[in-house]
Amino acid sequence: MRTVTYSMSMSLDGYIVGPDGGFNWSVPDEEVFRLSIDEIQQVNVHLMGRRLYETMLYWETAEQDQSLDDAEREWTRLWNPLPKVVFSTTLSSVQGNARLASGTLADEIERLRAEPGDGDIAIGGATLAAQAADADLIDEYLVRVYPVLVGGGIPFFAHHEHRVDLELIETRTFASGVVYLRHRVKHPTTP
């Protein structure tokens, strides 16, 4: 069965964007950007909400930008053909290799897990990830913790009504002070 992952950058105080909606503090340096490239190579489909979809639209035409470096060109070559499923109640169409979700998040994940093939099912965006977490659909959390306190905004982790036990399976510290943490959800075993 394919793994469902939630990967985002977050401030040390737990936010993916600050109170002003900005996230310029999370622009990755070359070393951290390489981690993002490595992550996306493991992904078979990316699920996202409207806000993240609109933010990532830049990459659909980024190859035309002559100022891109080699890593950004590599990211573009990986990102653009990647199938994407967008969850939105306001969009009527999407661009690139994306489609609007036709069912609930749980329905989409169940259908994608049943399809043949390898690669993770990645979830991006805190709102969508909160829905997946509430339904116990996330298998791994991949977090890049930036050494900054932003004081509020949209939290990486939604407030849950239940406990979720995690197992640390990978950690890295980068020269920039960013710390990467990868945790696997310890799913309860059935007797």
Using one digit for the tens of pLDDT, what is the confidence trace for 48-83? 999 899 989 989 888 888 888 999 999 999 999 999
Residue 109 sits at φ, ψ, to 5 deg, of: -65, -45
Within-domain flag for 191: no
Instruction: Work out the average pLDDT over 96-113.
Output: 94
Q: In the prediction, which pLDDT does 66 show?
A: 86
CATH code at position 150 = 3.40.430.10
Tell me how many domains the chain contains: 1
Domain that holds residue 29: 4-185
Average pLDDT, the chain: 91
Residue 189: pLDDT over 70:
no
From residue 160, give the alpha-carbon distance in Å to each of 101, 122, 130, 149, 163. Answer: 24, 20, 8, 22, 7
d(CA 82, CA 85): 10
- Quick one: tokens of 108? 């989409």
- 129-142 burial: b if 16+ Cβ within 10 Å, else e: bbbbbeeebbbbbb
CA dihedral 69, 71, 72, 78 (to 10 degrees): 150
The amino acid that residue 137 corresponds to is L
Name the strand (E) or helix (H) holding 146: strand 140-146
Q: What is the DSSP letter of 190?
A: P
Helix (H, G, I), strand (E, B) or coil at 36: helix
Q: In the prediction, which pLDDT does 47 show?
A: 97
Using one digit for the tens of pLDDT, what is the confidence trace for 14-32? 999 999 988 889 999 999 9
The share of the chain scoring above pLDDT 90, in percent, equals: 71
Within-domain flag for 190: no
Within-domain flag for 26: yes
Residue 118: pLDDT over 80:
yes
Residue 91: pLDDT over 90:
yes
Place of tokens 């791994």: 140
The whole-angstrom distance between residue 64's C-alpha and the CA centroid of its chain comes to: 25
Residue 175: pLDDT over 60:
yes
- Beta bridge partners of residue 167, listed in sequence order: 184
The share of the chain scoring above pLDDT 70, in percent, equals: 97
Overall residue count recorded for the chain in this entry: 191
Instruction: Work out the average pLDDT over 86-100.
Output: 94
Q: What is the DSSP letter of 158?
A: P
Instruction: Work out the average pLDDT over 121-140.
Output: 92
